[in-house]
Copies of this chain bind each other. A is one copy, B any other.
Amino acid sequence: MQSLVELYDIETTTPSLGDNTADLDRLKKALSHSLQGRKPVVPFGRIAPVARAFRNSGFKGCAVVIHYPEGPRLVDFWGQAPEMLLGLALDLGTTHLEASLMDLLSGKVLERGTVENGQLEFGSDILTRIHFAATKSDGRTGLDLLHDRIITSIYSLANALTKRVRMEPNQIMALCVSGNTAMAHFFLKQDPYYLCREPYIPVVNGPDPFSASDLGLDLHPEAVIMVMPSIGSYFGGDLISGILSSGLDQQEETGMLIDVGTNAEVVVGNRDWLIACAGAAGPALEGGVARMGMRAQEGAIEHCTIDPENGEISYQTIGDKPPRGICGSGVIDLVAGLYLARIIDIRGKFRPRQPQAEGHLIEHGEGLAYVVVPAEESGVGESILLSQVDIDALMRSKAAMYSILTTITNQVGVSFQDLQKIYVAGAFGKHIAPRQAIVLGMLPDLPLEVYNPLGNSSLAGAELMLNDVSVRERCRDVVAKVTYVELNVNQEFMIRFSGSRFIPHTDHTLFPSVPFYKESG
């Protein structure tokens, strides 16, 4: 396994009248031996510092080589081999950036950390930012600002993480970035205008590696920057990372990957073929729909149960803090609980006469709402509610999700039962209880062990790429192999969507493990 950046011990003879080749050529020749004859290229700006360091350390030491696809690049020379060789893996999320500081010598993660995406000020969702990118003020475009913010956020994260190991950002020699296509455009300062306009064309899917100085990011000036390739506007590098980290592209048996972020993105396949699609199913599941919805962070109701006998609710918050809202997994648990206690019907509508609802339903705005946490227990000074509007939104999300899953498997003639593994990526995968999602008819009714949370697979993919140059080739294979199905223009999807707007489904035989209650309202 060859890391993206490697060190090579160099020891050469000292120049003399009989051996008077130039400093840099002497170093390159010696290094070429270590590289099995491949000739390293030295970027113009590195000629002077590398040659000087080589001479000053007595024509021996440690050459720093970055493996570009087109060949090795010699970027620095150190008199002494360092204890660690820093690389940064980065998940470029819409709301948060998460990074792993890695030691490329051992391949181990040294530190992990998160910062808020500095672009939030210009819009919490991608679409708002895409529109903002086209604006201009004081001679700067919105894109300039969005780009600057992201660079600043990355630097602050790099700074915080390197500090923890008593090093500096300029000692980072490589950065691998994974994110959705729009975030990648902001990062690369590329115009996102056509991303959200039919036929949804990015400027670039697979940018060639470049250097930190190209980007104006204060890492080592020749730190290599690699961006995980995307496949289209709605299929970003974060999902390629998911495929890499799940290993879907290397398995003999067919599996599925579900990544729920702003969109729900789904990949089905194995080492021979991969099919993918994306659809708008996400907001409800990321805390974006429920009025009291929030991201999976401290004080969020992560899980809850409703006693089907007496309607009593019990919940659990992240960090055991007083509840401040409900995150995606909490909403799913809650609505599943409401259904099993028959407080809502198969259409997701409140049944106010149901005894278990007693004391929990109040009039709120245009309709009823369920009191999850009374004001006196809440961490925000008011009751935490789930309104009919919230439930309706979740019903649409869960219907979209299940329709996506059935449409894509149907597309390739695979039944859910054929799937050996279903990988669930992201915060959604980490917190969700698949059982409750099955009750709602959001996920197929399969044995729970089929479901595997992946964690932050976008970050994991970036880590893989840092540690192993061959992952680059794997990426290329994946990109070439994936067939992308555009659901926005898919008739079948629309038909399936209608059938999925009941709990668990119009066709309840699809969910044998879920109780089916015919009566409504």
Interface centre among A16, A69, A203 (most CB of B within 10 A): A203
Contact A17 B208 (CB under 8 A): no
Report chain B residues within 8 Å CB of A203: 22-24, 47-48, 51
Contact B42 A208 (CB under 8 A): yes
Report chain B residues within 8 Å CB of A214: 43-45
Q: Hey, what's the 0/1 contact readout for A166-202 against B, CB within 8 Å counting as 1?
A: 0000000000000000000000111100100011111
Given contacts A15-B199, A16-B199, A189-B48, contact A24 B204 (CB under 8 A): yes
Interface centre among A21, A69, A232, A486 (most CB of B within 10 A): A21
Which 10 A-B residue pairings sit nearest by Cβ, starting from the closest? Answer: A44-B210, A22-B202, A44-B214, A22-B205, A24-B204, A70-B70, A17-B199, A25-B205, A15-B201, A41-B208
Contact A43 B233 (CB under 8 A): no
Query: Would you call A374 an interface residue if the criterion is a C-beta within 8 Å of the partner chain's C-beta atoms?
Result: no
Query: Would you call A371 an interface residue if the criterion is a C-beta within 8 Å of the partner chain's C-beta atoms?
Result: no
Query: Would you call A58 an interface residue if the criterion is a C-beta within 8 Å of the partner chain's C-beta atoms?
Result: no
Query: Would you call A71 an interface residue if the criterion is a C-beta within 8 Å of the partner chain's C-beta atoms?
Result: yes
Complex alpha-carbon distance, A214 and B48, angstroms: 13
Which residues of A, 16-46, contact B by the 8 Å Cβ criterion?
16-18, 20-25, 39, 41-45
A433 to nearest B CB, angstroms?
A: 36
Closest B residue to A48 by CB, please name it: B190
Query: Would you call A355 an interface residue if the criterion is a C-beta within 8 Å of the partner chain's C-beta atoms?
Result: no
Report chain B residues within 8 Å CB of A1: none
Could you list some 11 contacts between A and B, CB below 8 A? A17-B489, A22-B230, A23-B194, A41-B70, A43-B208, A44-B207, A48-B189, A48-B190, A48-B191, A48-B203, A70-B70
Contact A201 B233 (CB under 8 A): no
Range class of the A interface residue count: 35 or more
Which residue in B15, B25, B188 is a CB contact (below 8 Å) of A47? B188
Interface centre among A45, A47, A69 (most CB of B within 10 A): A47
Query: Would you call A215 an interface residue if the criterion is a C-beta within 8 Å of the partner chain's C-beta atoms?
Result: yes
7 other contacts beyond A22-B206, A25-B205, A52-B191, with CB at 8 A cut-off?
A20-B484, A22-B201, A25-B204, A39-B69, A41-B69, A44-B207, A47-B203
A111 to nearest B CB, angstroms?
A: 28
Report chain B residues within 8 Å CB of A23: 194, 201-204
Complex alpha-carbon distance, A70 and B40, angstroms: 10
Report chain B residues within 8 Å CB of A233: 20
Which residues of A, 464-521, contact B by the 8 Å Cβ criterion?
484, 486, 488-489
Closest B residue to A47 by CB, please name it: B204
Complex alpha-carbon distance, A388 and B39, angstroms: 55
Report chain B residues within 8 Å CB of A211: 44
Contact B47 A17 (CB under 8 A): no
Complex alpha-carbon distance, A17 and B488, angstroms: 10
Interface centre among A18, A25, A48, A211 (most CB of B within 10 A): A25
Given contacts A44-B210, A70-B70, contact A21 B232 (CB under 8 A): yes
Complex alpha-carbon distance, A16 and B233, angstroms: 12
Which residues of A, 286-342, contact B by the 8 Å Cβ criterion?
none
Complex alpha-carbon distance, A23 and B210, angstroms: 19
Closest B residue to A25 by CB, please name it: B205
Contact B41 A205 (CB under 8 A): no
Report chain B residues within 8 Å CB of A198: 17
A487 to nearest B CB, angstroms?
A: 11
Complex alpha-carbon distance, A23 and B51, angstroms: 40
Given contacts A41-B70, A190-B47, A191-B48, contact A232 B20 (CB under 8 A): yes
Which residues of A, 432-489, contact B by the 8 Å Cβ criterion?
484, 486, 488-489
Which residue in B17, B47, B204, B230 is a CB contact (below 8 Å) of A51? B204
Report chain B residues within 8 Å CB of A45: 214
Report chain B residues within 8 Å CB of A21: 201, 205, 232
Complex alpha-carbon distance, A47 and B51, angstroms: 31
Which residues of A, 401-443, contact B by the 8 Å Cβ criterion?
none
Complex alpha-carbon distance, A204 and B25, angstroms: 6
Which residues of A, 199-242, contact B by the 8 Å Cβ criterion?
199-208, 210-211, 214-215, 230, 232-233
Complex alpha-carbon distance, A188 and B198, angstroms: 48
Report chain B residues within 8 Å CB of A202: 22-23
A224 to nearest B CB, angstroms?
A: 11
A67 to nearest B CB, angstroms?
A: 12
Contact B204 A44 (CB under 8 A): no
Complex alpha-carbon distance, A488 and B18, angstroms: 12
Report chain B residues within 8 Å CB of A200: 17, 20
Report chain B residues within 8 Å CB of A201: 15, 20-23
Closest B residue to A41 by CB, please name it: B208
Report chain B residues within 8 Å CB of A17: 198-200, 486, 488-489
Report chain B residues within 8 Å CB of A208: 41-44
